[in-house]
Amino acid sequence: MKLPSSGEEVSIVEVAPRDGLQNEATVLPPAVRAEFIRRLAAVGLVRMEAGSFVNPKWIPSMAGTAEVLTELGPQPDLRLSVLTPNARGFADACGSSVGEVAVFMSASESHNQKNTNCSTQESLHRFDPILEQSAALGLRVRGYLSVVAGCPYEGSVAVSRVVRLGAKLLAMGCYELSLGDTIGVGTPRQIHALMDGFAAEGIEASQLALHLHDTRGTALANVVAGLERGVRSFDSSAGGLGGCPYAPGASGNLATEDLVYLCQEMGLVTGIDLEGLAEVSAWMAGHLGKAPVSRVWQAISAAKETQ
């Protein structure tokens, strides 16, 4: 185990336009959400969750995802993805301009029932036709596995269970598996245990990403643990927006500013303009009526006030 060398690249998946906004009380119109994506792209973020084709009855803030994509138009320089929970959502996504879709499930039965209204086995069955059709259409599919470090309903989740479900998603055709610490209970020891489990199954770190929540202040420590194990793909949310509506108290996605600062100060390459990103987060915060929770955003803002 060792930290990456200076100059290595880290890929950041910006989740604020979907995972960030889905847990906010303020429902924003598609035009504002599209402008958010444009501004994030302008500061160097090229991989982003653009929205989710879920029933707006369950996630009202994601209503109008098709309109967001229409407003954006073709974006050949961006890798935009949308969540597709079922066949209906996938069909809607196929009518859009994105080149990537995402399937998502939980590592615990209870959270999966709350989040998708079905068992984990039923989720996998739902994904079969999505993966098959995506391969035929040339669409990339990213897999998301939630509550890998702990469930709000069941408590601890066995590493063996996370590995079994994650390996299945990769075997089905997901090009990358995003491991979500949905309620922010994970520690570096747990991250190392997960990496050990996947390595024992022959799954390389290059196939894995970490989606960390900072609910208890451990997200950046877990990033470092992931970097030590070879993970180079991380999900984060501009300004620290969002969380999971089906995980009580789980607000607090890892802020993209905090992740970018850590990586850049370690000599890693992100391709992101940190100060420009802070400005985008402030712009979105204005629409939501609250300040970003990012510690780095707060530090940049305080420094500007003293100049």
Looking at residue 305, its pLDDT comes to 83
The answer to whether the CB of 102 falls within 8 A of the CB of 84 is yes
Tokens of 304: 């500007």
What pLDDT, on a 0 to 100 scale, did the predictor assign at position 58?
84
pLDDT of res. 307:
72
Q: Tell me, what's the pLDDT at 234?
A: 98
Burial 136-152 (b: 16+ CB within 10 A, else e): eeebbbbbbbbbbbbbb
What's the half-sphere exposure (Cβ side, CA atoms, 13 Å) at 96? 29
pLDDT computed for residue 243 by the predictor: 62
Hey, what CATH topology would domain 11-306 get?
A: TIM Barrel (3.20.20)
Q: Mapping DSSP to helix (H, G, I), strand (E, B) and coil, where does residue 175 land?
A: coil
Show Cβ contacts of residue 121 under 8 Å, excluding neighbours closer than 6 positions.
none
Residue range 11-61, pLDDT digits in tens: 999 999 999 999 888 999 999 999 999 999 999 999 999 999 988 888 899
Burial class (CB in 10 A: 0-12, 13-18, 19+), 9: exposed
Query: In the prediction, which pLDDT does 248 show?
Result: 57
Structure confidence by residue, pLDDT tens digits, 84-139: 988 999 999 998 889 999 999 999 999 999 988 899 999 999 999 999 999 999 99
User: Is the predicted pLDDT of residue 249 greater than 80, yes or no?
Assistant: no
According to the model, what pLDDT value does residue 251 have? 60
Q: Which of 151, 174, 244, 263 is catalytic?
A: 244
Mean pLDDT of 283-298: 94
Average pLDDT of span 257-277: 98
- Domain extents in the chain: 11-306
What is the average per-residue pLDDT within 257-265?
Answer: 98
What is the per-residue pLDDT for 97? 81
Element (H, E) at 146: strand 140-146
- The answer to whether residue 244 is catalytic is yes
Q: Write out pLDDT tens, residues 138-195.
A: 999 999 999 999 999 999 999 999 999 999 999 999 999 999 999 999 999 999 999 9
287 contacts 249 by C-beta, under 8 angstroms: no
Supply the pTM of this predicted model: 0.96
pLDDT per residue over 196-240, tens digit each?
999 999 999 999 999 999 999 999 999 999 999 999 999 999 999
